[in-house]
Structure 1
Amino acid sequence: MEFFTSYDGTTLAFRTLGDGPPLLCLPGGPGRAAEYLGDLGGLSAHRTLILPDTRGTGASAIPADPATYRVDRLVADVEALRRHLGLDRVDLLGHSAGGSLAMLYAAAHPDRLNSLTLVTPSFAAVGLPSDTGVDEVIAARAAEPWHAGAVAAHRHMTTANSFAEAAPYRLAFEPLMYGRWDDAARAHAAADPAQRALPVSEHYYQGYTPDAGELRRRLGALHRPTLLLAGEVDLWPTAGAAADAASLFAEVTLAVQPGAGHYPWLDDPQAFTAVLEGFLSAVG
């Protein structure tokens, strides 16, 4: 584990994994330590993954001001890490809520970006829905033995007023977030509570109101290669929501991984790695 000091004096942690050109990977959750990303399905064989723990999560320190957990304010932490690493421009990857952060960074620092990879990202930061057609996606999995319990838990999750209120239902809901509810998926889901910092989860979007028009203008003017990867059976975002959001970007490749949920590197590591490494290699 390595450490750096961010703009406000908070000590933040990151680790590096693998070999090859650097790829800065922003975790989601929101508020989940980067450990859950693993080696991104073996992508570390091709890239040096830089895996920061968001402030207040994992090995990163808790800041004096919890308002600095908000997604738009976390952009300054990403920029501080880029400076610490001495990178003129970065290949940036964001997963889930980390995708929202990656889009905000791209809008704020286009000159510091080499490429943008969004893996099953949230579009909350740009004011777009992530759940287009979600009922149809859920219904299509009705034959699964866990379906009834997961759907009931999903109702509780979507009506909860906070991440803490939703927490008791998370594990029962989790099968809907994976393409395959196998032993690897169960272990990955079971690790969530220990890896998640609920204060970060609660504050991530609290009080944040996007200037959607300006953000969309900036992203539309971003002439950097962008990969938008969705899972065929993911709920947030659905493949339909990802297809709608692709129009945000000037130079976008949209990929829908068959049979994948919210963590596509677990559902089919080979397919996931092939798509990402193919894109990154083309970027050069």
Structure 2
Amino acid sequence: MLLIFLTVAAVLLALCTTTGGTADRSNVSITKTEGDTHEGYVDVTGGRVWFRIVGADSAGTPLLVLHGGPGATHDYLEPLAALADERPVVFYDQLGCGNSDRPDDPALWTVERYVKEVGEVRDALGLRRVHLLGQSWGGALAVEYVLSNKSDGVESLILSAPLLDADRWVADQRAHLAAFPDEMQEVVREAEATGNFDSPEYQEAMATYYARHVCRTDPWPECLNRTFEKISLPVYLGMWGPSEFTCTGTLRTFNVTGRLAEIPVPVLFTCGEHDEAPPATMAHFQRLVPGSELAVFEGASHEHHLEETDAYLAAVRDFMRLRKREALSSCEVPEGNGA
């Protein structure tokens, strides 16, 4: 028991030295340590969430990664660990997902609770300052978190193909669907009308759709397959709905476009040319955030970080480096004005 406590204390001390934060050790348990990579659990409202810190000894401001779904896992975002040569990269599986607890309580699957969870993870791990990266639904979570008067210590937002307006998301998916053969569209319409989403025809239609707009590599990366194998259907159904084309869950009225101008930190939007979140929609969102940037990856889709990994990591890395240079520049004291 003493050895376990000392290991937890050492890990959190190392991370807090990097972040300048103070971790609540009573809410954290470390289950695995390999070099500067640590795994464990954080107590949050409703249960425990699993986390992994890669590059805990790195000196830069940590990158906290929010996965999509809802109901997905961190696995498909693992290539972001390459950024740990400059900063700690913190992954976690949201409650109900992946390696985290999976309570049978639909009341937990709300935007408000997941926003609170982000803060609980930050507090527990001592992440006083962070860059926040959200992919898909994770982008919705990142924006809502910052807009809920919780932007303190968030140095920037990286929003990869974010869901920011549920109605627009559905409209974009239906516009994509309209480009497929009539037979495939009819299969989708029949499944939506009957509620039978298990038919081989529907599964084939969705595989075809995903191959064009979710991930265009063939075969899919192993990390993405792992995420799909672990997908939490109760969370996906409870928050989104029966398919990408229909939203009936707690996100059905989600829309933060009218508040995007209030985001107080630098923002980088990213998307693929064939993304579920298409370039036109991302350009619209970017125009609503003063000073924000947009990177579009040609030939890629929703998982552009897997399809164009090197280019994506370079864009994210450069964006965070620029924020550091800006912060250092703002701290410079003009000559003759004292220490």
Cα gap change, 1:136 to 1:190, in 2 (>3 Å):
closer
Q: Within 5 Å, give how 1:142-221 maps onto structure 2.
A: 152=184, 156=188, 160=192, 165=197, 168-169=203-204, 170-178=206-214, 180-183=216-219, 185=220, 187=222, 190-205=225-240, 206-208=249-251, 210=253, 212=255, 215-216=256-257, 218-221=259-262
Q: Distance in 1 between matches of 2:196 and 2:121?
A: 30
Aligned AA (1:225): P
Cα gap change, 1:70 to 1:177, in 2 (>3 Å):
same
Q: Distance in 1 between matches of 2:185 and 2:208?
A: 6
- TM-superposed deviation, 1:74: 0.6
Aligned AA (2:217): W
State whether structure 2 residue 40 is matched by structure 1 residue 2: yes
- TM-superposed deviation, 1:209: 5.6
Aligned AA (1:75): V
Q: Distance in 1 between matches of 2:120 and 2:194?
A: 30
Cα gap change, 1:89 to 1:47, in 2 (>3 Å):
closer
- Equivalent residue for 1:256? 296
Structure 2 regions of 5+ residues with no counterpart? 1-38, 241-248, 325-339
Structure 1 regions of 5+ residues with no counterpart? 140-146
Which of 282, 286, 289 is equivalent to 1:242?
A: 282
- Equivalent residue for 1:124? 165
Which of 21, 29, 33 is equivalent to 2:61?
A: 21
Aligned AA (2:192): A
- TM-superposed deviation, 1:121: 1.2
Cα gap change, 1:130 to 1:160, in 2 (>3 Å):
closer
- TM-superposed deviation, 1:271: 0.7
Q: Distance in 1 between matches of 2:163 and 2:190?
A: 15
Deviations 1:251-273 (A, max 9, x none): 31111112211111211111111
Aligned AA (2:293): T
- TM-superposed deviation, 1:220: 1.2
The secondary structure found in structure 2 opposite 1:103 is helix
Q: Alignment RMSD, CA only? A: 3.2
CA contact (8 A) 1:24 1:50 kept: yes
Q: Distance in 2 between matches of 1:267 and 1:43?
A: 17
| More displaced 10-residue stretch of structure 1: 41-50 or 55-64 | 41-50
Q: Given the two structures, how large is their TM-score scaled by the length of structure 2?
A: 0.69
Which of 309, 312, 318 is equivalent to 1:272?
A: 312
- Equivalent residue for 2:28? none
The secondary structure found in structure 2 opposite 1:4 is strand
CA contact (8 A) 2:75 2:227 kept: no
Cα gap change, 1:195 to 1:3, in 2 (>3 Å):
same
The structure having more radius of gyration, on CA atoms, is: 2
Cα gap change, 1:186 to 1:56, in 2 (>3 Å):
same
CA contact (8 A) 2:164 2:254 kept: no
Q: Distance in 1 between matches of 2:293 and 2:133?
A: 14
- TM-superposed deviation, 1:161: 7.3
- Equivalent residue for 2:30? none
Q: Distance in 2 between matches of 1:208 and 1:179?
A: 23
Cα gap change, 1:66 to 1:133, in 2 (>3 Å):
closer
The secondary structure found in structure 1 opposite 2:152 is helix
The secondary structure found in structure 2 opposite 1:229 is strand
- Equivalent residue for 1:82? 122
Cα gap change, 1:46 to 1:177, in 2 (>3 Å):
farther
Aligned AA (1:197): S
Cα gap change, 1:225 to 1:113, in 2 (>3 Å):
same
- TM-superposed deviation, 1:21: 3.4
The secondary structure found in structure 2 opposite 1:171 is helix
- TM-superposed deviation, 1:237: 0.5
Aligned AA (2:42): F
CA contact (8 A) 1:179 1:259 kept: no
Cα gap change, 1:6 to 1:39, in 2 (>3 Å):
same
- Identity across aligned pairs (percent)? 28
Q: Distance in 2 between matches of 1:43 and 1:175?
A: 27
